């Protein structure tokens, strides 16, 4: 570099062309001095060289000269292990670094020299070396490069086995080898994480699928990464809120934190979600962004969950020790997080596939029966026109028209999937009071007006007093008002996925007021994005209805909630 003294490099090569090429390559920035193998050590000292470049023959000559002398300072300064062996693998000289290795490692290095010697050839383009990886007896890993030395003065081509000696250099690669093995283990675990057996998944509902995924994530995080205190949040794109879906080893208070994808104000988790970059915090007590999770926090590691370039959530790990996580841990968690994101995406695919398949099938069926239904309507119209004074005939014609419209509505309800309740039209025509529902105060919570209003109308026709809330926030306020002295509720029916408060939060608010109040949660085709089902089931959840459910199924679950015996 300009303004700096040029470094001196001593070159000892058998080929003058190679020596010239190196001189031309390095000459601009360094002073290159050529030296014969026998003069190499003196040249290094004389020129105060910063580096030495030599080929295997020169190195062998140097090693032999130093082996016969008492001064091994030059090779002793080399950080790697060096040995010279005969073609049969007998080590005839080694530096202190090599001799300091355990016996098993030295024996394996000698075996590599013997194997290399049997395969070396000389070609016009130069000598071909061999690379080996050695797993040492001291649970460490080494890389070894073996180069051949042929009989001095013989410049002809040699057949295999014509090697006189082998020069080997080996160095410790334990850190990178262990990291590679761990990455391979994470890759294998990730493959299992995203592997969804079709038959098994088919037999699971959405909550059970998420439970299966959680069990795998917890196991791999513990066994592979030694992480026992962590959370997984998914991003709600509509609200920018980070929804907690998994929590292990962290207190209950973590479940109720309101976090958003924001650089400030939502802790490290929110910052990572906003920036899309991982965050290593060696001491949380010195980080203003940190919001306390574990009781005695020390350090934290947080990485984004990304699907390609799209952020879908955040994986946060904590420890009660400071500086518990390294840059290597960061790399491992980032790799693992890719598989976690992919696994959640696969669950979404199952949701979309089921919904679109249902929608497409319903559409095809509706299309196939549209013409026959039109024919029925025409026949009913003709029947009514020709019935004259026959009131019974006109009533039959009107019933046919009503049935045709009912068929079309039910097909539309099936196609609408989570936005409908099947069979509600039939129950809405009934106005009979239900003794188990009459007089009960019921809170119905759903951000989908069709669902909310349909449940209200069905239950009101059976004598219930129904309060509807279009959001989780309003539901929690209504429950808080109950605790403050307003009229009590006998039952809470709540959707799980809402933009402000999720089903678990509504469930928790109800249970805070009354441990005995039954709660029924509802969810669409998809998995439970807030983990509400699993969490609430552990705390006394009455049941879960998966949309689109039948209206009669809702009535059956309400009856059971109010103590009616199950039908045989």
CATH superfamily of 424-561: Response regulator (3.40.50.2300)
Closest to 247 measured CA to CA, from 506, 453, 484, 532? 532
3-state secondary structure 130-183: EEEEEECCCCCEEEEEEEEEECCCCCCCCCCCCEEEEEEEEEECHHHHHHHHHH
What's the rounded Cα separation, in Å, for the pair 167 and 117?
Answer: 10
Q: Same CATH topology for 180-353 and 424-561?
A: no
What's the rounded Cα separation, in Å, for the pair 531 and 185?
Answer: 28
DSSP output for 65-130:
HHHHSS--HHHHT-SSEEEEEETTS-EEEE-HHHHTS-HHHHHHHHHHHHHHHTT--EETTEE--E
Domain residue ranges in the chain: 81-172, 180-353, 366-417, 424-561
Q: Are 149 and 181 in contact (CB under 8 A)?
A: no
What's the rounded Cα separation, in Å, for the pair 507 and 445?
Answer: 11
Q: Can you give the pLDDT at residue 123?
A: 44
Q: 26 Cβ partners below 8 Å, 6+ apart?
A: 9, 32
Residue that has been written with the tokens 């059971």 in this structure: 560
CA 31 to centroid of chain Cα atoms: 53
Pairing of strands 279-281, 259-260: unpaired
Cis peptide before 322 (omega within 30 of 0): no
| Vertex 444 angle, CA 519 and 214, to 5° | 50
Residue that has been written with the tokens 């039952």 in this structure: 491
Return the exposure string of 280-298: e unless at least 16 CB atoms fall within 10 Å of the residue's CB, then b: bbbebeeeebbbebbeebb
What's the rounded Cα separation, in Å, for the pair 74 and 95?
Answer: 10
Helical H segments across 388-471, by residue range: 391-416, 424-429, 449-460
Terminal Cα-to-Cα distance of the chain (whole angstroms): 90
**Other C-beta atoms within 10 Å of 139: how many?**
9
**Other C-beta atoms within 10 Å of 566: how many?**
7
What's the rounded Cα separation, in Å, for the pair 568 and 563?
Answer: 15
| Vertex 198 angle, CA 193 and 342, to 5° | 30
Distances (CA, A) of 340 to 215, 216, 306, 324, 347: 12, 10, 9, 22, 11
The torsion of the CA quartet 42, 45, 46, 50, rounded to 10 degrees, works out to: 120
Q: What is the reported pTM?
A: 0.57
Q: Which CATH architecture has domain 180-353?
A: 2-Layer Sandwich (3.30)
**99: which strand partners?**
none
Helical H segments across 417-545, by residue range: 424-429, 449-460, 472-483, 503-513, 532-537
Q: Can you give the pLDDT at residue 124?
A: 37
Closest to 354 measured CA to CA, from 200, 167, 132, 525? 525
3-state secondary structure 526-568: CCCCCCHHHHHHCCCCCEEEECCCEHHHHHHHHHHHCCCCCCC
Residue pLDDT tens, the chain, 568 long: 344 456 777 777 766 676 677 667 766 667 777 777 667 667 767 777 777 777 666 665 666 555 555 555 555 556 789 888 888 899 988 888 899 899 999 999 999 999 888 877 544 344 557 889 888 777 889 999 888 876 555 444 444 446 778 888 898 988 888 888 888 888 888 888 877 655 566 566 656 666 777 788 888 888 888 888 999 888 888 788 888 878 888 887 777 788 999 999 999 999 999 999 999 999 999 999 999 888 888 999 999 999 888 998 999 999 999 999 999 999 999 999 998 888 877 766 555 445 444 555 555 666 667 778 777 878 778 877 787 777 888 788 888 887 778 777 666 655 555 555 666 776 777 767 899 999 999 999 998 888 899 899 999 999 999 999 999 999 999 998 887 777 889 999 998 878 777 888 898 899 888 888 999 988 874 445 555 666 666 666 778 887 777 888 899 999 998 886 655 4
What's the rounded Cα separation, in Å, for the pair 56 and 62?
Answer: 10
Q: Report helix, strand or coil for 17.
A: helix
Query: What are the φ/ψ torsions at residue 505 (nearest 5 degrees)?
Result: -70, -40
DSSP output for 174-232:
HHHHHHHHHHHHHHHHHHHHH---HHHHHTS-HHHHHHHHHHHHHHHHHHTT---SEEE
Closest to 268 measured CA to CA, from 255, 286, 256, 251? 286
Q: What is the CATH number of domain 81-172?
A: 3.30.450
Pairing of strands 91-94, 81-86: antiparallel
Q: Can you give the pLDDT at residue 157?
A: 40
Q: Can you give the pLDDT at residue 547?
A: 76
């Amino acid at each position: 570099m300009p303004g700096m003294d040029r470094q001196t490099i001593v070159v000892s090569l058998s080929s003058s062309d190679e020596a010239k090429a190196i001189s031309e390559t390095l000459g601009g920035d360094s002073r290159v001095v050529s030296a014969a193998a026998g003069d190499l050590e003196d040249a290094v000292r004389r020129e105060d060289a910063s580096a030495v470049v030599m080929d295997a023959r020169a190195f062998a000559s140097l090693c032999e000269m130093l082996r016969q002398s008492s001064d091994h300072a030059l090779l002793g300064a080399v950080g790697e292990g060096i040995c010279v062996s005969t073609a049969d693998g007998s080590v005839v000289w080694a530096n202190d670094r090599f001799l300091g290795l355990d016996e098993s490692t030295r024996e394996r290095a000698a075996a590599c020299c013997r194997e290399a010697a049997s395969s070396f050839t000389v070609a016009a383009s130069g000598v071909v070396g061999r690379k080996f990886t050695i797993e040492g007896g001291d649970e460490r890993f080494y890389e070894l490069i073996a180069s051949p030395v042929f009989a001095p003065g013989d410049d002809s081509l040699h057949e295999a086995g014509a090697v006189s000696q082998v020069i080997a250099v080996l160095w410790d690669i334990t850190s990178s080898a262990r990291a590679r093995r761990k990455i391979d283990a994470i890759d294998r675990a990730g493959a299992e994480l995203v592997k969804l057996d079709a038959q098994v998944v088919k037999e699971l509902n959405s909550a059970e699928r998420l439970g299966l995924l959680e069990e795998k994530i917890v196991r791999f995080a513990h066994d592979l990464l030694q992480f026992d205190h962590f959370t997984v949040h998914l991003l709600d794109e509509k609200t920018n809120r980070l929804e907690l879906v998994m929590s292990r080893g962290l207190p209950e208070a973590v479940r109720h934190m309101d976090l958003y994808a924001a650089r400030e104000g939502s802790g490290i988790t929110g910052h990572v979600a906003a920036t899309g970059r991982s965050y290593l915090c060696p001491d949380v007590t010195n980080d203003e962004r940190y919001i306390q999770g574990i009781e005695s926090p020390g350090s934290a590691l947080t990485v984004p969950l990304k699907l390609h370039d799209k952020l879908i959530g955040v994986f946060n790990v904590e420890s009660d020790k400071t500086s518990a996580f390294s840059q290597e841990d960061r790399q491992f968690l980032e790799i693992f997080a890719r598989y976690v994101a992919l696994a959640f995406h696969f669950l979404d695919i199952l949701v979309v596939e089921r919904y679109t398949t249902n929608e497409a099938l319903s559409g095809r069926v509706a299309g196939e029966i549209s013409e026959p239904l039109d024919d029925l309507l025409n026949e009913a119209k003709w029947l009514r026109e020709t019935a004259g004074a026959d009131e019974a005939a006109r009533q039959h014609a009107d019933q046919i028209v009503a049935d045709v419209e009912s068929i079309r509505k039910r097909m539309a309800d099936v196609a609408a999937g989570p936005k409908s309740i099947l069979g509600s039209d039939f129950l809405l025509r009934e106005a009979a009071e239900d003794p188990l529902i009459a007089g009960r105060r019921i809170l119905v919570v759903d951000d989908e007006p069709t669902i909310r209003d349909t449940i209200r109308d069905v239950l009101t026709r059976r004598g219930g007093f129904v309060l509807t809330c279009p959001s989780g926030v309003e539901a929690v306020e209504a429950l808080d008002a109950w605790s403050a002295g307003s009229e009590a509720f006998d039952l809470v029916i709540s959707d799980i996925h809402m933009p402000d408060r999720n089903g678990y939060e509504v469930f928790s608010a109800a249970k805070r007021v009354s441990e005995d109040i039954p709660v029924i949660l509802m969810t669409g085709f998809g998995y439970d994005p807030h983990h509400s089902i699993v969490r609430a089931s552990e705390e006394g959840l009455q049941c879960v209805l998966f949309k689109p459910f039948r209206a009669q199924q809702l009535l059956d679950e309400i009856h059971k909630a109010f103590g009616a015996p199950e039908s045989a």
